[in-house]
Amino acid sequence: MEKLKHIIRTQDFDHEFLESLFKRTSEIKNELVSGKYPYSFSDSLNGRILASLFYEESTRTRFSFESAMLRLGGEVVGTEAAKLFSSATKGESLEDTIRIVDNYAHVIVLRHKQDDAAEIAAKYSEVPVINAGSGKGHHPTQTLLDLYTINEELGGIDGKKIAMIGDLANGRTVRSLAYILTKFKDVEIIFIAPENLKMKDDIKKHLREHKIKFSEKSSLEEVLPYIDIAYITRIQKERMSWWNYRKSRGKYKIGEKELNLMKKDARLMHPLPHVEEICLSPEIEQTDIRVAYFRQADNGLYVRMALLEYLLK
């Protein structure tokens, strides 16, 4: 595979890219976790500037990208609310914004409500564009940290049984994850979603074309005892009518009873933020090894550091 200029969608990744990125991620993580300052990578991106363009809200993705750039010796410019504090309010198009910002920075990290925003940005940008979440479409860097976490905690992705639970119609994280899973062996996916929020046909078609075993189920209790990973998502109420939200909220929840149906070595993952679909006490979240979502979010920093180095060094 040619070196990627932009990070737009998980379909563009191959094993060589993932293996090399995850190897570097582990090196960075080990060094940071060891706390032995100064770190070898602290000047790695000296003089490089990251533009952080977030038209939609974010905690994890924006902070971890910005922290990653600073930890590599780079600088960050941007706005946490581009929808309100950029010239988008005056009607400037995304294309024009990108044509301007690419002259001020060496990499653009973009989150936008449009499904094809990152593709458009990449078309107009002279510098790498990283898709930090585009509408209901893609969230490729979330998938990188998801895969890294599965690899690290369960020793690999081949052969894993993964339940995707919750809002599968609007969740870009599950879509990006489903796309990349077609590149692994003997994976099985089980979709569990409220009737009005089922996984879209384009993903199911893609899975069929790649001969990935998948099914749609309605009972959590039936599925939880035999899967390796329960990947649950929030109902994206901001992307649906009040009526649809009312129909689906609270339908699937994981509490202590459901967690205890899972195998001892299974993992509960979530892209976060989690709201009412997870009802575990903070004590259980801290002590039950199966609860992986905070470690998963932590890995976002290390993966994004490795990714920025990959694109800019």
Catalytic residue set: 60-61, 90, 111, 139
Burial degree of 1 (CB within 10 A; 0-12, 13-18, 19+): exposed
Residue from 59, 87, 103, 260 in contact with ligand CP (CB under 6 A): 59
Size of the site for ligand CP (CB under 6 A): 9
Q: Under the criterion CB under 6 A, does residue 140 sit at the interface with ligand CP?
A: no
- Asked whether the beta carbons of 9 and 138 are under 8 A apart, the reply is yes
Find out whether 107 and 313 touch, Cβ atoms under 8 Å. no
Q: Binder to ligand CP among 10, 25, 131, 142 (CB under 6 A)?
A: 142
Nearest approach in angstroms of CB 221 to ligand CP is 27
In the structure, how many helices (H) and strands (E) does the chain have? 13, 11
**248 and 275 Cβ atoms separated by less than 8 Å:** no
Residue 61 is a binding residue for ligand CP (CB under 6 A): yes
Least spacing, CB of residue 90 vs ligand CP, in Å: 26
Give the nearest distance from C-beta 270 to ligand CP in angstroms. Answer: 9
- Single out the segment in contact with ligand CP by CB under 6 A; choices: 66-74, 270-278, 283-291, 301-309: 270-278
- C-alpha distances in angstroms, 95 versus 5, 24, 80? 18, 33, 19
- The candidate with the shortest Cα–Cα distance to 94, out of 66, 75, 113, is 113
**By the rule CB under 6 A, 272 interacts with ligand CP:** yes
Asked if 138 interacts with ligand CP (CB under 6 A), we say no
Residue 76 phi/psi, 5-degree rounding, is -130, 135
Pick between residue 223 and residue 267 the one whose CB is nearest to ligand CP.
267
Closest CB 122 distance from ligand CP, rounded Å = 19
Task: Please state, in angstroms and rounded to a whole number, the distance separating the CA atoms of residues 218 and 198.
Answer: 10
Residue 218 is a binding residue for ligand CP (CB under 6 A): no
User: What is the spatial distance between Cα 300 and Cα 72, in angstroms, rounded to a whole number?
Assistant: 15
Q: Is the Cβ of residue 61 or residue 149 nearer to ligand CP in the bound state?
A: 61
Q: Phi first, then psi: give them for residue 81, nearest 5 degrees.
A: -145, 70
Which range of residues in 53-61, 70-78, 258-266, 274-282 is near ligand CP by CB under 6 A?
Answer: 53-61
Query: Strand runs (DSSP E) across 153-201, as ranges?
Result: 161-165, 188-192
Shortest gap between Cβ of 74 and ligand CP (angstroms)?
20
**Per-residue string for binding with ligand CP, 87-126, x by CB under 6 A?**
----------------------------------------
Query: Which spans of this chain sit near ligand CP (rule: CB under 6 A)?
Result: 58-61, 133, 142, 271-273
